[in-house]
A and B are shown apart, each in its own frame.
Chain A
Amino acid sequence: MTDARKIGDVILKVDNISLRFGGVKALTDISFDVREHEIRAIIGPNGAGKSSMLNVINGVYTPQEGTITFHGEVRQDMDTHQAAENGIARTFQNIALFTGMTVLDNIMTGRNLKIKSTFIEQAFWFGRARREEIENRKKVEEIIDFLQLQSVRKTPVARLPYGIKKRVELARALAAEPTMLLLDEPMAGMNVEEKQDMCRFVLDTNDQFGTTIVLIEHDMGVVMDISDRVVVLDYGKKIGDGTPNEVRNNPDVIKAYLGAH
């Protein structure tokens, strides 16, 4: 952890969020905040509501109760498009890449909000459309360099191994130059080396671009090493919140993970 990285003010605050699917309570009265430039982990056993929480933050789900405050703006619910325009990007638990496209095209899709030309200009590949394509390509190439994807640049995503796909998904999210990055289990199913690489990329992203990161992860070693603060969910309720050390020693968290003693 570098000391140069300065954790700033609260930029995202969720208050009393409750989310139900019919009779199933996915989230009950959850509140926590995320500070600028920090790495915030959400942990909890399977089915605790971690992914639902991310889906609420970027507007895929609409909570029945509670508010989301992002950059001082209070909202009942986020709209996915708005979230993207406000600089929230994310990756998914089960890789959600566009399998029919190349790595380059996948990452280019991350830049779509920066492209203003209409489809008619694009059809003629003229003026603004061409200029934007080249400018955004430049930015995408920087991210390809950053995540070391040069060798697979023009490979269709469907042909790539799992670990690289996860990295491409991170690249696509980074291409949008987000202020906040939501990572849903970025290291799930990876071996130790791949996890180390991914940790490095997450830390570097946080370091170099100052991106705030909200991360769901099951590997406690990773969570305790890289995150600044941790939220613990269990059965849709918040049972712990604090620095990795505080959380580690919280009796409720120990109970949720190890069972009653």
Chain B
Amino acid sequence: MIYREAGQYKTTYLNDSQIFPIAQDRVAVALLLVVAFVAIPLFATPYIFSGILIPFLILALATLGLNILTGYAGQISLGTAAFMAVGAFASYNFMLRVPGMPVLLAFVLGGICAALVGILFGLPSLRIRGFYLAASTLATQFFVVWCLTKVPWFTNNSSSGVITAQQVEILGFKFETPQQKYLLVLAVVAVMALLAKNMVRSTVGRSWMAVRDMDVAAEVIGFRIMKSKLTAFAVSSFYCGVAGALYAFCYLGTVEPEAYNLDLSFRILFMVIIGGLGSILGSFLGAGFIVLLPIFLSVVVHYTGLPNSVTSNLELMVFGALIIFFLIVEPHGLARLWQIGKEKLRLWPFPH
């Protein structure tokens, strides 16, 4: 992967503000999409779809959502799973109670419900920040799960509190096999990642970063702090809500509110930290890393002949160590490492 962008001159500002300004990058991304949409569905096994790829993509979407809030807008949140739960249960109820509801519309509406809840629980961010904000979003986490458990209407009076997500069907086409579900999730995630990239390269994204980096200056320039924080909460929660709905409809199938517990919130936060705060690519790298790590470790344990019980403990230890490592050594995560690697390779074999 050694290439140089020599000779690629931009003659319009539109060309210069492309997402991938270098031609080789565009080819690489196109290839990646072809592989993801065509090659993988041809060759992958059902286990790879439902055990690795689907959870990876869904968690990457949730990570992207949290990254918008924490990485771009600088507002820390421990309530990611709660927003996912709102998205999932809202989509379920829209499907259940509105006859003929198209499933994609239900996902969008679920996301919008999550966005509204996000705005509501984002209000404290106007007065508090840092640890205190984290504590208040923690309240979101507990409140939403409690609410979904205690109010039977949300789970359609199911006695065990468990719901079964409806069949996903778009224009008469049923998404049943893992492969079909994978393609649906992939399409949703790809489109939403593109939209996120567009937002962060426009004024709305700049307003988030301005508030993150220096809120007084942002205000003096004319950004409205309140609007910018609340749009960050809304957009972030929308992403988490759609991810939550996909998690229920395309991954778990049967869902209880407890599936969206604090543990999941923390996992997604780790993905953001390891992947890279304030990076779209980082969201995917972080999610991929954390989804693949336990699988990798279990393979290692299997071949070294250690007892299986070691795996889960080993996983916790490795996670802990990695998070400390990243916070100290590279707070910008895998995305930054990737960028540094690219810059080095670009010059290689010359020193500078």
Contacts and interface: CB of A to CB of B under 8 A. Distances in A.
Contacts of A117: 202-203
Contact of A123 (B195, B219, B220, B222): B195
B267 interface: no
Given A119-B235, A138-B13, A80 B220 contact: yes
A124 B221 contact: no
Interface string B203-227: 1111101101110111111111000
Given A100-B209, A134-B14, A176-B222, A119 B214 contact: no
Contacts of B63: none
B221 A110 contact: yes
Contacts of B204: 119, 122-123
B203 A115 contact: yes
A18 interface: no
A100 B217 contact: no
B309 interface: no
Contact of A176 (B12, B196, B221): B221
A147 B209 CA distance: 24
Interface size range on A against B: 35 or more
A124 B214 CA distance: 27
Nearest to B278: A100
B260 to A, nearest CB: 25
A89 B222 CA distance: 9
Given A58-B220, A119-B231, A101 B198 contact: no
Nearest to B332: A100
A98 B220 contact: no
A141 B13 contact: yes
Interface string B111-150: 0000000000000000000000000000000000000000
A149 B11 CA distance: 19
B199 A133 contact: no
B224 A81 contact: yes
A109 B216 contact: no
B209 A97 contact: no
B32 to A, nearest CB: 20
Nearest to A131: B14
A130 B15 CA distance: 12
B299 to A, nearest CB: 38
Interface string B1-44: 00000000000111011000000000000000000000000000
Contacts of A60: 216, 219-220
Interface centre among B13, B195, B221 (most CB of A within 10 A): B221
Interface in B75-90: none
A137 B219 contact: no
B186 to A, nearest CB: 19
A130 B14 contact: yes
A113 B224 CA distance: 10
A172 B221 contact: yes
Given A100-B278, A105-B209, A134-B14, A85 B202 contact: no
Given A97-B214, A112-B223, A129 B278 contact: no
Which of B17, B204, B207 has the largest count of A CB atoms less than 10 A from its CB? B204
A184 to B, nearest CB: 11
B222 A113 contact: yes
Q: In the complex, which of the residues A85, A97, A105, A119 has the most CB atoms of chain B within 10 Å of its own CB atom?
A: A119
B13 A137 contact: yes
Nearest to B224: A81
A125 interface: yes
B217 A122 contact: no
Contacts of A110: 221
Contact of A81 (B13, B17, B212, B219): B219
Interface in A64-83: 80-81, 83
Given A133-B202, A134-B13, A176-B222, A112 B217 contact: no
27 contacts: A81-B219, A81-B222, A83-B220, A96-B214, A96-B216, A97-B214, A98-B210, A98-B217, A100-B209, A100-B212, A101-B209, A101-B210, A101-B213, A108-B203, A109-B218, A112-B206, A112-B207, A112-B222, A115-B203, A117-B203, A119-B203, A122-B202, A122-B205, A134-B17, A137-B13, A137-B16, A138-B13
Top-10 shortest CB links A-B: A84-B222, A122-B202, A96-B217, A119-B204, A98-B213, A125-B198, A123-B195, A113-B222, A137-B13, A115-B203
Given A98-B217, A105-B206, A176-B222, 11 more contacts: A84-B220, A98-B209, A98-B214, A99-B214, A105-B209, A109-B207, A112-B203, A122-B198, A122-B202, A123-B199, A132-B203
